[in-house]
Amino acid sequence: MSSNDDQIAQVEHHFGVRFPQDYRDFLGTTGSLSQFVLPADDFLVIDALAELIGINEAGEFQKRFPGAVVIGGDGSRELLVYDFRQDTPPLVTLDVSAEDWSSAIHQATSLSAFLEQFPQTGWKWDDTDSPPS
C-alpha cells in the first residue's frame, strides 16, 4: 500500500466512508484540479486529499449535511459534494449557505461521468435533468 493509499484510507476513516474507485484513482494520479474548463468556460476545483478534512470541518458542514463529503466546487460559493446517504454516492452541488439537503443539485452519478460531461455542460444550476431519486 502506497503512502497515498494510506492517506486516502485515513481520510475515509475520518468521514466513515469509502470513496468510489474512480475518485480514489483520481486522488492517486491527478490529485487535484483548479482551472477554467473549456468550452464550458466554468471554473472547476477538485481539492487535494490533504485539504479535505479542513474544508469539510469549516462551517459545520458535516452537521448541516450528514453524509456529505465536499471534494471541490466552483471556486466560489458552490461546493461539489459526494452524497454518502446513498449506496453509490452521486455528486451534487450545495451552496455554502444552504440549510439542508433540499438545496442539492445533482451533477453526476460518478466523478468519471462528471469530468467527462463537465467540459460540455459546465455546472448544472437546476434539477431538471437529474435522475429520479
For the stretch 84-94, pLDDT in tens is 999 999 999 99
For residue 108, give the amino acid letter: A
CB atoms within 10 A of CB 20: 19
Whether 34 shows a pLDDT value over 60: the answer reads: yes
Question: What percent of the chain clears pLDDT 70, i.e. is strictly above it?
Answer: 94
Provide the grid cell at 97. Answer: 449557505
Per-residue pLDDT, averaged over 24-38, amounts to: 95
| E-only strand ranges, the chain | 33-37, 42-46, 68-73, 78-83, 91-95, 105-108
What's the whole-model pTM score? 0.91
DSSP state of 59: G
Whether 131 shows a pLDDT value over 80: the answer reads: no
Q: What's the pLDDT at 101?
A: 94
The pLDDT-based confidence of 133 (bands split at 50, 70, 90) is very low
- β-pairing, 105-108 vs 68-73, is unpaired
